[in-house]
Structure 1
Amino acid sequence: MIHGEFDRQARRTGRIALAMATVSALLTLDVCEAAATPPMGITRQATADAVSARVGALFAGGLDGGHFCTASVVRSGGRDLIATAAHCLNDPGNTVFAPGYRDGSAPYGVWELTSVYEDPSWDREENPDADIAFAALAPLDGTRIEDVVGGFPVAADQPGGVPVTVVGYPSTADAPLTCSNDTSMESGTQRRIGCPDLPGGTSGSPWLVDGALAGVLGGFEGGGTDPDISYSAVMGGMAQDLYRRAAAGDPVTETPEA
């Protein structure tokens, strides 16, 4: 009897420990772990995990408004920052972010934008080298977005041929796609990747290198007119300065208007 009770307690303790370890692993999972196994140059549906939870769809007004671009949570002092393409934020006051969106459901909530950070050259002339933007999100029920899903670190100045994983939402699909491949330089300021079937809606998708954001889908040709070839502006000095300002919560921002 004592032996049986001990066994039951041991099994219960083991189950609790296993559950805690599983939760811990999900919360600390890095992109490089998730992106290490997929075949190169193949586009497939992204797994619902702690990595894709940091990536979400941008909607017009709400979930009923349809999604048109992709964004991802990045680390910041305010724990409230997303990165996307600048051309995705033409109407920030009417744009909301749904991280981990899948099959009509927003498991981590729907978040409103409070401010936008863009390089002045994008505002003046839509400079493709400046087609990256950051936006701060309002707290949801008193909680910051990074405390819910975590955030990607930012890695600038990556070499030309670095392997990249893209995660994004086609506007016609209710689940994200992902593709990993080597990249090449289209120019000194633009990077390209060959990944099939990344159509409209994937603009703003994070380009991830070893678990860190190294660009977003956009830039040259608005990210590409061929769904099999995509582009990203290089995260050079201009993008780094923009990120530092946004991550620090510099008040010199564009505030969305309703």
Structure 2
Amino acid sequence: MIHPTLHRPARRTRARRASRILLALAAVAALISVDVPDALAGAPLGVTAQARRDATADRVGPLFAGGLDGGHFCTAAVVRSAGRDLIATAAHCLEDPDGTVFAPGYRDGEAPYGLWRLTGVHAAASWTDGEDPDADIAFATVAPVASVDEGQGAYVEDLVGGFPVAPAQPADATATVIGYPRTLEAPLRCANTTALISPTQRRIACPDLTGGTSGSPWLVEGALAGVLGGYEGGGTVPEVSYSAVMKDQAAQLYHEAADTADSDRGSP
């Protein structure tokens, strides 16, 4: 199980794997309407390149161990919620959330929307009790470590928006993955057609998604359809990545987290 620090990497993150970097998801219904802040079309399918600065990338950020000096080890994304303070990532990234902070839009040592400490974690019992790879998705509430600028809101969704969550996707959906390899200071982006390797796991062929990209959002038409994780902790080689298929369990988990997010704010 993961311990979110760089000096003691865990077996389920990609941080233990050799780094080869080449730059080249009625209440739920109201929250899953598609909102595409910027066009996701760009580079050819299956090509990984640095993600451009835009409203889509600003909703994604790395998870740091304690602060910017602690190094980043996983990726997360802001999703819509009643409390406007919810992020999604892989469950294996939140085994020990104490001290973990989220930095949306992070690039080159700068956190333009501030740092956000985790205040609560929502994970399925099948994950916490048995690390079921089909349940490798979690949601966490966040609160600001400090205000970015005086007068800005205290809710991360107010600053960068949030992805709707859309669990029901066809087997061959085209997904865009945005994530932060732990050796880079800017996010990578790749889009490709996905395929099911089982009824509960999905794969995508995108090169160079190495350690640190666990938890990266899989976006289908601008909505969160999964996160990098699941089978083999997300994959054992950087060319192919996996995500648990978001079915009823994940939808219910999101429903509970999104409707109760605001009540989780406060001390971790």
If the TM-score is normalised by the length of the shorter chain, which range does it land in? 0.7 to 0.9
CA offset digits 1:52-79 (Å, max 9, x no partner): 0000000000000000000000000000
Which deviates more, 132-141 or 163-172? 132-141
Report whether the alignment pairs 1:225 with 2:257.
Answer: no
Which deviates more, 242-251 or 90-99? 242-251
Q: How does 1:1-258 map to 2 (within 5 A)?
A: 30=36, 33-139=38-144, 140-141=146-147, 143-249=154-260
Distance across 2 between alignment mates of 1:234 and 1:256 = 32
> Which blocks of at least 5 consecutive residues in structure 1 are unaligned?
1-27
Distance across 2 between alignment mates of 1:238 and 1:185 = 18
TM-score (normalizing by structure 1): 0.85
CA offset digits 1:86-115 (Å, max 9, x no partner): 000012111000000000110110000100
Q: CA deviation at 1:256?
A: 8.4
TM-score (normalizing by structure 2): 0.81
CA offset digits 1:97-137 (Å, max 9, x no partner): 00000001101100001000000010111000000000001
Evaluate the alpha carbon distance shift between residue 251 and residue 72 of structure 1 in structure 2; reply closer, same or farther with a 3 A threshold.
closer
Q: Give the helix-richer structure, 1 or 2.
A: 1
User: What residue is the counterpart of 1:7 in the other structure?
Assistant: none
Letter aligned with residue 196 of structure 1: P
> Which blocks of at least 5 consecutive residues in structure 2 are unaligned?
1-33, 148-152
Q: CA-atom RMSD, angstroms?
A: 1.9
Provide the secondary structure at the position in 2 that maps to 1:47.
coil
- Identity across aligned pairs (percent)? 64
Provide the secondary structure at the position in 2 that maps to 1:248.
helix
Provide the secondary structure at the position in 2 that maps to 1:87.
helix
Letter aligned with residue 140 of structure 2: A
Q: Whose relative contact order is higher, 1 or 2, with alpha carbons under 8 Å and at least 6 apart? A: 2
Evaluate the alpha carbon distance shift between residue 147 and residue 173 of structure 1 in structure 2; reply closer, same or farther with a 3 A threshold.
same
Q: CA deviation at 1:34?
A: 2.4
Letter aligned with residue 129 of structure 2: R
